[in-house]
Structure 1
């Protein structure tokens, strides 16, 4: 019987919880994992999640600058000299680039997950595809869904995203699953608001902050469910790359 557990914030992660055969899926709906999904959909070569702006600048100093794009925020505002991580703002900017992404929560959660057997990156935009691909890798391991949270606090949008993922997993698998209490609660919460994703995001504390910054359209964009066929995963404990469904991917340049 497969086991699914939800961690309510990235601070619950530690190497002990990741030991053994554990598959991890990371969520930061507002906005890192939505940004990663969108950047890869728009044709980025890779996304490199970093812990902070200083690490991002160090990578650029050591590499061929033209092929890299600095993207990042801290506490919701763009880092000076970086592109905004709001997904819609990346359209037309990331094609054929290695995106170095620094965010307050999501990129830290991804970096802290790399000691597991395999790490996927999911958002509302692509959860169904990630669930489908995870099942191809699944060999009766424990699945840990990591909600990044917000600066040490639980947030509702990642919890909703984890519930959406569990629901998508159930739709595609006839296996018996054992849910922890947190996984059960996430799934039930999603089902209770299955058609209200925009409302959930707008009502969250991070959503309220982003709306004060004028990012209403970004919230609407990332509240869409299962519109992208991109499946991001961590490679070599450093890069996030995409499993691509070319037939359905269509135009990825983001220039239209």
Structure 2
């Protein structure tokens, strides 16, 4: 008999309570525009690993002592590329990261990943790889509580993360034969996804961050990020520091 799976959904990174991340909690972080989509794409494009950090200063500190040419600094703060860093737009990074370590700093997604590090396992997911991560979790874990973290934006709810989490829940429900206990926020996320799944790119573009990206000429990036199941990489935080594909 299969164990009941419990799924909680946090609407923004500020809701993370590190004291509640122990006791076999599995965390899946979503920052669809852009951080977790960037992590997924970077690993799919051949990056060696991704090191998420809290801010630009931490990124530069992390790079000290690393061999020149072995890493790239990638990051934004409040939507603007950090001076001296590459922009965290997946397609723009594609030709610049093969075999390299990416030190990534973003306003929300990398903070959510770092602040979830006390959990038993932490994964990065987006529309690009939700199916693969869901399948992996079902194979690797039995009876643990899954906490889906929508990174949000500076203590505000984000539509695109809510949609991405709903996509992940949909993948779980389709693959799991046992009972699943969903919180109300998880139910709402799944139903929102079900209602809008044929128009994922439109949902992303309608969001506040999506509108900002479109205005700045990054509509192609949104179209790329909205491709469900494009990649099978499973980014996992190892040693509370490095994200690699497992």
TM-score between the two structures when normalised by the length of structure 1: 0.93
Q: Aligned residue for 1:187?
A: 190
Rounded to whole Å, the distance in 2 between the matches of 1:132 and 1:114 is: 21
Runs of 4+ residues deviating >4 angstroms = none
- C-alpha root-mean-square deviation of aligned residues, in Å? 0.8
What is the aligned counterpart of 1:214 among 213, 217, 223? 217
Q: Aligned residue for 1:253?
A: none
> Displacement, 1:84?
0.8
Q: Aligned residue for 1:28?
A: 31
> Displacement, 1:143?
0.4
What is the aligned counterpart of 1:37 among 27, 36, 40? 40
What is the aligned counterpart of 1:93 among 85, 91, 96? 96
What is the aligned counterpart of 1:17 among 13, 16, 20? 20
Rounded to whole Å, the distance in 2 between the matches of 1:51 and 1:62 is: 19
What is the aligned counterpart of 1:203 among 206, 210, 224? 206
> Displacement, 1:176?
0.5
- Structure 1 portions without partners, runs of 5+: 244-256
What does 1:126-137 align with in structure 2 at a 5 Å threshold? 126-137=129-140
> Displacement, 1:17?
2.3
Deviations 1:206-242 (Å, cap 9, x if unpaired)?
A: 1011111111111111011111111100000000000
Q: Aligned residue for 1:47?
A: 50
Rounded to whole Å, the distance in 2 between the matches of 1:21 and 1:80 is: 39
Q: Aligned residue for 1:225?
A: 228
31-40 vs 76-85, which deviates more? 76-85
What does 1:241-252 align with in structure 2 at a 5 Å threshold? 241-243=244-246
Rounded to whole Å, the distance in 1 between the matches of 2:47 and 2:137 is: 22
Q: Aligned residue for 2:174?
A: 171
Aligned length: 243
59-68 vs 81-90, which deviates more? 59-68
- Structure 2 portions without partners, runs of 5+: none
The answer to whether 1:121 aligns with 2:124 is yes
TM-score between the two structures when normalised by the length of structure 2: 0.97
